[in-house]
Amino acid sequence: MSAAMRIATPSDRRDSPVNILGIAGDPATRELMAQAVGRSDDVARIVVGTAETALSQFELGAAPAILLLDLSTSADALADLTRIVAAASETKIIALGAMNDVGLFRDLIRAGASDYLVKPFTPASLEAAIAAVAQNREPVDLSRPRLGKLVLFVGTRGGVGTTTCAVNTAWLLAEELGQRTALVDLDLHFGTVALSLDIDPGRGLREALAQPMRIDSLFIDRAMVRQGDRLAVLSAEEPVEEEAEIASNAIEILLYELRQKFDWVIVDLPRGLIGEMDALLASITHAAIITEPTLAGLRDAIRLDAFLKSTAAGARLLTIDGGAGRAPRSPVSRAEFEKGFGRKLDFTFPFDAKAALAGANAGRPLAVVAGTSPAAQAARDLAVAFAGPGQSRAKSSLWQRFAKRVPHDAHS
Ligand SMILES: Nc1ncnc2c1ncn2[C@@H]1O[C@H](COP(=O)(O)OP(=O)(O)OP(=O)(O)O)[C@@H](O)[C@H]1O
Ligand SMILES: [Mg+2]
């Protein structure tokens, strides 16, 4: 904690009231809060509890200068916050919660919170929020959501076109739709995102995952490989014989930091890892399941869809035929697939070997090497469906050109 953020000086510690009170919903959050406020027990008290705990602390005469209030276990966050504001009008409140919801964010700010951080958060981001409140700076920009969207691309099978979809969506969001976009390849050994864009994988992802406490805005600026003004990539090419070192919570912390800087964070996830990614899944806003029209593709689309519905309950799920896994005569027709799947596919990429080959050979996105090809058009549809018409920079031309192809329910 920097000097600028300290509320009490050593000389006034002895009899001073608690200056920062942290009410954490669980021990893990308490730990993060403790790291954020530093080691000074004299000025900070962090306990596991609820809004009731905060109120009972106030009754003991301990209304703090700053209250860190974890509302994630609260049945009615707004009501709890309102009661606390009424009981301690001088206290600055930094609310914390699990819901990444702009509506809730605005309501909490209007009800009197100074800031709202969405879990998972890092000690550094909480520390920065405390500093901002302590300095009476207004940390809140009500005009835009604080965290970017987090989109997971996962294939039901190998080679169905997952990376092609992820890379092209990210590139189009950045280049044609004006969105600040981060693209992360979590296949640390065999990922092909960097190869698809003909860039060096760099060491940034490896360093971030090994030492997540180093991750901050500066680290990200240095570690990411830039592709144009708005697209930045994190990937790796770990030696085949070496196990990748991933510290606990590292992926969660990295993605959270990225979401603070980028409008979109696109993750290409090897499906073998999905079962271990609880924290990631709980925070994604969208998931694209890329599949193929085969029995195995159908079976695993059903399984992944069911799994994501239970683990990523708040996320919008899209199921996409990636095109790459389509034999000239598909063993399962689209109608059969959709009947078995129980609903329509959200997108279908055409099998477009010419465009795919041109892109792979040049290490460039489809929109660059084969801009008018069916595969590039499908990639544009998908990117526009993610961004939505309201966020399209080229609203008048691009949006009108593609709007008719976009399923309405794909908008976030
Ligand atoms: N729509 C398409 N039509 C034809 N070929 C395609 C299409 N999309 C991708 N391809 C090609 O198919 C191959 C596999 O694509 P890609 O790497 O995107 O698949 P993946 O599902 O990510 O594979 P992996 O399981 O190895 O990660 C690549 O050679 C790519 O150029
Ligand atoms: Mg891939």
Which of these, 226, 352, 321, 58, lies nearest to 235 by C-alpha position?
226
Give residue 389's pLDDT: 55
Position 47 in a domain: yes
What's the CATH number where 334 sits? 3.40.50.300
> Which residues fall within 8 angstroms of residue 187, CB to CB, at 6 or more apart?
268, 269, 270
Nearest atom within ligand 1 for CA of residue 350 = 1
Q: How many whole angstroms separate alpha carbon 407 and alpha carbon 355?
A: 24
159 lines ligand 1 (CB under 6 A): yes
pLDDT of amino acid 155:
98
Confidence of residue 362 (pLDDT cuts 50, 70, 90): very high
200-212 per-position pLDDT tens digit = 999 999 999 988 8
Per-residue tokens: 35? 């790291």
Q: Which residue has the higher pLDDT, 129 or 324?
A: 324
- Pocket-testing residue among 153, 157, 163, ligand 1, by greatest number of atoms within 8 A of Cβ: 163
Q: What's the pLDDT at 387?
A: 84
Question: Is the shortest distance between the CB of 155 and ligand 1 below 6 Å?
Answer: yes
pLDDT score of 313? 82
* pLDDT tier at 62, thresholds 50, 70, 90: low
pLDDT digits (tens, 9 = 90+) for 81-109: 988 988 888 889 999 999 887 778 888 88
Q: Is 385 exposed, middle or buried (0-12, 13-18, 19+ CB in 10 A)?
A: buried
- Domain for residue 282, yes or no? yes
Range list of H helices, 91-234: 102-111, 123-134, 162-175, 193-196, 204-210, 217-223
Query: Which of 108, 134, 160 delimits the end of a domain?
Result: 134
Amino acid identity, position 140: V
Q: Which of 226-230, 240-244, 305-309, 402-406 has the lowest mean pLDDT?
A: 402-406
pLDDT, tens digit, for every residue of 156-191?
Answer: 999 999 999 999 999 999 999 999 999 999 999 999
| For the CA of 379, the nearest ligand | 1
Which range of residues forms the domain containing residue 187? 149-405
Residue 140 lies in a domain: no
Using a 6 Å cutoff on CB, does residue 356 contact ligand 1?
yes
Residue 10: the pLDDT is 31
d(CA 170, ligand 2 centre) in Å: 14
**How many domains is the chain built from?**
2
My answer on whether 187 and 265 are in the same domain is yes
Distance 134 CA to ligand 1 centre (A): 51
Atom of ligand 1 nearest to the CA of 160: 21
Give residue-wise pLDDT tens across range 386-407. 886 544 444 434 333 333 333 3
What is the reported pLDDT for 19? Answer: 83
Which single residue is written with the structure tokens 């465009």?
A: 355
Dump pLDDT digits (tens) for 326-348: 777 778 999 999 999 999 999 99
- What pLDDT is recorded for position 137? 55
- Ligand 1 pocket mutation pick from 156, 164, 171, 349 by most atoms within 8 angstroms of CB: 164
Structural domain includes residue 143: no
Query: Is 144 a domain residue?
Result: no
**Single residue among 103, 134, 165 that ends a domain in this structure:** 134
Tell whether 76 and 194 lie within a shared domain: no
Task: State which ligand 1 atom lies nearest to the alpha carbon of 353.
Answer: 4
Contact 123, 28 (CB under 8 A): no
Angle (CA) 202 204 207, round 5°: 125
Is the pLDDT at 235 greater than 80, yes or no? yes
Q: Please tell me the distance from the alpha carbon of residue 220 to that of residue 98, in angstroms, as a whole number.
A: 24
Percent of the chain with pLDDT over 90: 54
